[in-house]
Amino acid sequence: MLAAFSVVPVGVGDSIGDQLAEVLRIIDASGLPYKINPMGTVIEGEWNDVMALIKKCHSSVMKTGKRTITSISIDDRPGHPNRLDEKVKSLERRIGKSLKK
Amino acid sequence: MLAAFSVVPVGVGDSIGDQLAEVLRIIDASGLPYKINPMGTVIEGEWNDVMALIKKCHSSVMKTGKRTITSISIDDRPGHPNRLDEKVKSLERRIGKSLKK
Amino acid sequence: MLAAFSVVPVGVGDSIGDQLAEVLRIIDASGLPYKINPMGTVIEGEWNDVMALIKKCHSSVMKTGKRTITSISIDDRPGHPNRLDEKVKSLERRIGKSLKK
Amino acid sequence: MLAAFSVVPVGVGDSIGDQLAEVLRIIDASGLPYKINPMGTVIEGEWNDVMALIKKCHSSVMKTGKRTITSISIDDRPGHPNRLDEKVKSLERRIGKSLKK
């Protein structure tokens, strides 16, 4: 399955880059396939692996603050492997054009 | 922590009430405190209990379809118990008025 | 259509009740049908009315802070009126039981 | 502001690529800066321009189906231009490493 998620520390100021940098270090070290975008990260894997990683990211941000808002969107479609790359490629093939990534 | 979530079967028709009824049966039987609203359910509990319940709901919908989209929003603020009731009551006290629920 | 939304000020502290109380005042005064829940508010109306109200709420929070995160989930199903009440009632009829709200 | 959004037709089958291809054509032709990812598209612009584009995408999917679920996440932080590129670059600078995109 694919999961897009973001972790937002609330109450530590409007600059939250230090907390997010630590989240990205955790994601990058996890071994799960991922793609970062300006509003979050998309990872691909089985439910338990995906949720263990998101919990680790959420807990990392909780350590430095009193309140954290984490949003997760899951798209689960068994039998369609490597959707991290294939979903966008499939759309590009349909419209016959390379899209901005 | 509080978690709002919704589970949407994709590709089984525009009427998805049968799948959602089963989800609500699972939530109601779980023992976790919950409140249902027209766009999802809010539950309160520890991370592992909350995620185990959402996984059960998601898996229940996957059994009847080929694709499921599950959205989760977590608001984690330790030291503030019974937020399922208190968050709305606190807002009502601030504005001095009962709100529609 | 139904729209669930939440507005979160980032960087003003972990207690954001003052900002949210003002948001609820705006929603309650808007005349649009709504239901508040512990994680947000669900409103029912046409696209332009719904989005005008959410913009007003978002702008209200922006006035008091430097950064705001607003999340919106829309469920649009023409021909099904009063879904603010009917969606939950329909689920209760299917499972033959009153659910916690 | 930045807005991540996705539009999901419900009830037209589990393959929704035709509808999403049309959505991407609309986004690509809009002139608003965007980046596509496997779970949605992030656009950057003023509230009214962003919402006009999302409405156009949502309406396009509604034409071919009976029910559409559209999710929008807004991160509004005035005074920080070109966040479509800068948010990820800023994280990469902090951790001293290029991330997968």
Distance between CA B96 and CA A85 in Å, rounded? 52
Coil/strand/helix, residue D97: coil
Distance between CA B19 and CA B7 in Å, rounded? 9
Give CA separation, C15 vs B15, D71, D88, in Å.
Answer: 40, 26, 28
Give CA separation, B85 vs B101, C20, D51, in Å.
Answer: 11, 16, 33
Indicate whether D29 pLDDT > 90. Answer: yes
Whole-number average pLDDT of chain C: 95
pLDDT in tens, A82-93: 999 999 999 999
Distance between CA A40 and CA D5 in Å, rounded? 12
* Nearest-5° Cα angle at C34, C30 to C39: 115
Of A62-66, B11-15, D16-20, minimum mean pLDDT range:
B11-15
Of A83-92, C82-91, D8-17, D39-48, minimum mean pLDDT range:
D8-17
Q: What is the DSSP letter of B66?
A: S
Q: Specify the pTM.
A: 0.97
Distance between CA B49 and CA A52 in Å, rounded? 13
Could you give the percent of chain D with pLDDT greater than 70?
A: 100
pLDDT grade for D88, boundaries at 50, 70 and 90: very high
Q: List phi, psi (to 5°) of B18.
A: -60, -45
Contact criterion met (CB < 8 Å) for C76 and D69 = yes
Residue B12 is predicted with a pLDDT of: 83
Distance between CA A42 and CA A35 in Å, rounded? 5
pLDDT grade for C15, boundaries at 50, 70 and 90: confident
Q: What is the DSSP letter of A53?
A: H
Residue A35 is predicted with a pLDDT of: 98
Contact A71, A57 (CB under 8 A): no
Contact criterion met (CB < 8 Å) for B74 and A51 = no
Coil/strand/helix, residue D19: helix
pLDDT in tens, A10-52: 988 777 899 999 999 999 999 999 999 999 999 999 999 999 9
Residue C14 is predicted with a pLDDT of: 75
Instruction: Please list every residue in chain C whose beta carbon sits closer than 8 Å to the beta carbon of residue D67.
Output: 75-77
Indicate whether C7 pLDDT > 90. Answer: yes
Residue B13 is predicted with a pLDDT of: 78
Of A14, A66, A69, the CB nearest to C11: A14
Beta bridge partners of C9: C68
| Dihedral class, residue B96 (left if φ above 0, else alpha if ψ from -120 to 50, else beta) | left
Which residue of chain D is at minimal alpha-carbon distance from C65? Answer: D77
Q: Within a 13 Å sphere around the CA of A5, how many CA atoms are in the beta-carbon half?
A: 29
Residue A15 is predicted with a pLDDT of: 79
Average pLDDT over residues A54-81: 96
Give CA separation, A66 vs A7, A71, B58, in Å.
Answer: 13, 17, 29
Residue B26 is predicted with a pLDDT of: 98
pLDDT tens string, chain B, 101 residues long: the values are 999 999 999 988 777 899 999 999 999 999 999 999 999 999 999 999 999 999 999 999 999 889 999 999 999 999 999 999 999 999 999 999 999 99
The alpha carbon of residue C12 is apart from the nearest alpha carbon of chain A, in Å, by 6
Q: Testing the interface with B: which of D14, D15, D64, D72 to mutate, by most B Cβ within 10 A?
A: D14
Alpha helices (runs of H) in A16-64, residue ranges in sequence order: 17-30, 47-63
Contact criterion met (CB < 8 Å) for B8 and D66 = no
